[in-house]
Amino acid sequence: MLRFLLLSVLVALALAEERPEPRFLEHIGERVVGGEVAQPHSWPWQISLQYLSGSSYYHTCGGSLIRTRWVMTAAHCVDTQRTWRVVLGDHDINVHEGKEQYMSVSAVHIHPQWNRNNVAGGYDIALLRLSSDAILNSYVQLATLPPSGQVLPNNNPCYITGWGRTQTGGQLSPKLKQAYLPVVDHQTCSSSSWWGSTVKTTMVCAGGYNDSGCQGDSGGPLNCQVSGRYAVHGVTSFVSSLGCNTVRKPTVFTRVSAYISWITGITG
């Protein structure tokens, strides 16, 4: 178990008001602060990553469909040996609505420099090869990825999407939710009163204020509006150990534009 999950460490951090450690969203009880149920299929590249336990599959992370046979998610979502499947075109994960496509995963490509014991080191990105091609329609579409190296300005409008918990210790939201999280530029996010040196230039920060949401599972997209259309600029990576909506501790995402060459090298 990672050191930053120790309760004593969290208590000490809270009391001393020192810089909190990064923490995966799966380990945070409260995932949704604000946010709203998304219009069904308004984020048609959003996928549900599910694992097999017994005879049933269970949602664990989000992700984005980037090619008809490829999904992008977080490395920490898939760095354990499990049987995975990807559900495309879903809105309510508890109801079979007839729009879904269920795909098994034939290969998992985790970034070679990912180190689960050093989440702040970056490289929290993985690609999943599907067993067959997704069928594109009005419910399932490919995500647009940013140009290599593109860095968004402060306050660029973005939305995080996912099936995160709706209250502390509560159940997953059965319906896809969205929350508005504007970009926090790297200079601000890496300043000493924010995330400091924990945040690298290969990451992007969004939110970090009392009125910001923090919801959606790890691995899911940060959908940012650029020139009138949305592109997936981030893969949800970690939040503060003090909670999702901690002031000056925005949600941190893997910056997709820093990994375009790696993605292209894997997916062709």
What is the SS3 assignment for 1-25?
CCHHHCHHHHHHHHHHCCCCCEEEH
Residues in the chain: 268
Is pLDDT at 61 greater than 60 in this prediction? yes
Range with lowest mean pLDDT among 148-162, 163-177, 240-254: 163-177
Strands 101-110 and 158-162: unpaired
> Which one from 48, 190, 218, 241 is the annotated catalytic residue?
218
Nearest to 166, CA basis, from 206, 217, 210, 205 = 217
Confidence of residue 225 (pLDDT cuts 50, 70, 90): very high
Contacts of 96 (CB under 8 A, 6+ apart): none
pLDDT (0 to 100) of residue 16 = 30
Please compute the mean of the pLDDT values over residues 53-78 and round it to a whole number.
Answer: 96
Nearest to 165, CA basis, from 16, 28, 40 = 28
234: phi then psi, degrees, rounded to nearest 5: -145, 150
Cα separation, 264 vs 268, in Å, equals 5
Domains for the chain: give ranges and CATH numbers.
46-141 (2.40.10.10), 143-257 (2.40.10.10)
- CB 31 within 8 Å of CB 164: yes
Cα separation, 39 vs 133, in Å, equals 25
Task: Identify any residues that bridge with 159 across adjacent strands, giving them in sequence order.
Answer: 180, 223
96 catalytically annotated: no
Please compute the mean of the pLDDT values over residues 30-36 and round it to a whole number.
Answer: 56
Cα separation, 84 vs 115, in Å, equals 21
> Which one from 124, 173, 186, 233 is the annotated catalytic residue?
124
Residue 112 has a CB neighbour count (10 Å cut-off) of 8
Alpha carbon 31 to its chain centroid, in Å, reads: 12
In this prediction the pTM is: 0.88
Confidence of residue 245 (pLDDT cuts 50, 70, 90): low
Is pLDDT at 69 greater than 60 in this prediction? yes
> When comparing pLDDT for 146 and 207, which is higher?
146
107-154: pLDDT as tens digits = 999 999 999 999 889 999 999 999 999 999 999 999 999 999 999 999
- CB 143 within 8 Å of CB 66: yes
Is pLDDT at 241 greater than 90 in this prediction? no
> Which one from 76, 91, 111, 233 is the annotated catalytic residue?
76
Return the SS3 of 19.
coil
Expressed in angstroms, the distance from the first to the final Cα of the chain is 36
76 catalytically annotated: yes
Is pLDDT at 183 greater than 60 in this prediction? yes
What Cα–Cα distance (Å) separates residue 199 from each residue in 10, 92, 192, 243? Answer: 19, 34, 11, 17
233 catalytically annotated: no
